[in-house]
Amino acid sequence: MKNRNINFCLLGLGVLMIACQNYPTIPVEKIITREVLMDKIKGGWAGQAIGCTFGGPTEFRYAGTMINPYINIEWPEHYMKSYYDNSPGLYDDIYMDLTFVDVFEKKGLDAPIEDFAIAFSSADYPLWHANQQARYNIKQGIMPPNCGYWENNPHADDIDFQIEADYAGIMSPGMPNAASYYADDIGHLMNYGDGWYGGVYVANMYAIAYVCDDVEFVVREALKAIPPQSKFYKCMSDVISSYNSYPNNWELTWAMVQKKWSFDIGCPDGVYKAFNIDAVINSAYIIIGLLYGEKDFYKTIDIATRCGQDSDCNPASAAGILGTMIGYSNIPEYWMPNLREVEDRNFAYTDISLNKVYQMSYNQALQVIERNGGTIGKNEVTIKCQIPETVRFEESFAGHWPILVKNIRKPIEEVGELEFNGNGVVVSYNFGRNQGYGMDSGSYVANIEVYLDGALSETVVLPIQHQARKQELYYKYNLPVGAHKISFKCLNPDKTKPIIVSSLLVYSDKPIITEHQ
């Protein structure tokens, strides 16, 4: 009997050892050569640039629909060079990253958040959505973290930081908590809640990809950084669960995401529309690409792109994470001639090329490794790896549900008094035809008094110049639920630059749901 127990215990121990060998984990410590570290850093940046370029022609052309497999997405000769020459704004997700990498390079890892705020708000590049609203806020004296907070930024849940958080993961090899740390203050420059979680999640996947070559494990493990009660976590969990049930049918998982998670409540451009720049659904498309791509570089990029919506940024993130995992040297040659053609060229609005940022991120990664208990040898580095820790919970637009979008489309002088019933309002606008978009659109700055329920609520500074613009004319949340009135008075009108009030978005504390009996 005694011998049988010993045999049974040995058998159980053997099964346990086999299970441990087969199930991936983050190692306690990882020793890699300097050469491998650089190769993975280069793979991360190269993958991001390749994925962004591949998906460029489809960006937001497929909103609420997947890209049919009969539609060919090309990779022609000189493709990246053509974008560098003719459409450099495609790489907004990269030149924003480079801004932060550059501040770390010049000011060190302890650079105050104000340095990052000034760097990105004063840059010449075009911005949109949460980034542009944050830039406007900073220029108006609303500094971090308030510039990204949802009551000051209707785009707080948008994708902006998610597409710019690559730097945090790339500089934190094997250290997801360090990635979360370097994603915190910077991520709150422009985002909050789910918008911030998108960046934290992407950065954690990059960090873990350095030390684990199992894509499904990376996707799952990085999710530990996100609070389980958040919408972001629940959506990613649904994607992973659907993948486990239907591992050969990414279209079915896409359809589940579309049905359950495609309703945007924040971005005024996406409420009640197929257009969706929300971080949650676009991050779902990143991991659909990663999971169903099965570590195949082309398949990963192609699936992430075919999910639609922000279909340049999503494959960029997926390819960057996979590029970090497999390394630059293992990116298939199919992609490389286009990449090599531009690696020495600076991205627009910067003095940084891919070749330059490879070295900058390498230097920063070595510093982060040392700061977190690792050691740097002559030929090898030792990384003290980390298990992801959950970041704090925060939620944008809590208690706010869009219930009405009313088209106005009148010059501001003709709007009069607008009535609405709810607890929040966003007023969208544009300058008249041919005004307000070009880089050199003029120096006119309108000053608009906004009256809410008969009292002056805010005097809005409204530059016509595109780089300095405000995303929406006016927004106010957390009002008492009930009837309200809003009106406008332009203090310095210019008839050659008419301000058009385009729409009124109304929120309340409960959604309006159509139910069929």
pLDDT digits (tens, 9 = 90+) for 278-334: 999 999 999 999 999 999 999 999 999 999 999 999 999 999 999 999 999 999 999
Residues 42 and 188 both lie in one domain: yes
Nearest CA-CA partner of 321 in 467, 313, 229, 144: 313
Q: Are residues 355 and 423 in the same domain?
A: no
* Residues forming a β-bridge with 482: 422
pLDDT band at residue 255 using 50, 70 and 90 as cut-offs? very high
- What is the per-residue pLDDT for 19? 38
Tell me the pLDDT tens digit for each residue of 415-453.
Answer: 999 999 999 999 999 998 654 444 446 789 999 999 999
pLDDT at residue 371 is higher than 90: yes
| 265 and 138 housed in the same domain | yes
- pLDDT number for residue 4: 38
Beta bridge partners of 483: 421
Domain count, the chain: 2
The average pLDDT across 84-106 equals 95
Question: How many CA atoms does the CB half-sphere of 154 hold within 13 Å?
Answer: 28
What whole-number distance in Å separates Cα of residue 468 and Cα of residue 438? 11
Confidence class for position 466, pLDDT limits 50, 70, 90: confident
Q: What is the DSSP letter of 217?
A: H
What is the pLDDT, as a whole number, of residue 335? 98
Residues 359, 375: Cα–Cα separation, whole Å? 19
Q: Tell me, yes or no, whether 166 and 296 share the same domain.
A: yes
**Residue 440's domain spans which residues?**
401-508
pLDDT at 232 over 90: yes
Do 324 and 415 fall within a single domain?
no
- The pLDDT score that the predictor gives to residue 390 is 98
Measured in residues, the chain has a length of: 517
**Confidence bin at 22 (pLDDT 50/70/90):** low
Phi-psi region of 416 (alpha: psi -120 to 50; beta: other; left: phi over 0): left
H-type alpha helices, 210-249: 215-222, 231-245
Task: Fill in the amino acid letter for 139.
Answer: K
**Average of pLDDT values for 487-498?**
95
Residue 20 lies in a domain: no
**Does residue 257 share a domain with residue 214?**
yes
| pLDDT tens digits, one per residue of 321-365 | 999 999 999 999 999 999 999 999 999 999 999 999 999 999 999
Query: 60: alpha, beta or left, given left = phi > 0 and alpha = psi -120 to 50?
Result: left
Please tell me whether residues 95 and 141 are part of one structural domain: yes
Residues 149 and 260 in one domain: yes
Instruction: Tell me: do 425 and 331 sit in the same domain.
Output: no
Dump pLDDT digits (tens) for 402-416: 999 999 999 999 999
Clarify whether residues 248 and 305 are in a common domain. yes
Banded pLDDT at 8 (limits 50, 70, 90)? very low
pLDDT value at residue 300: 98
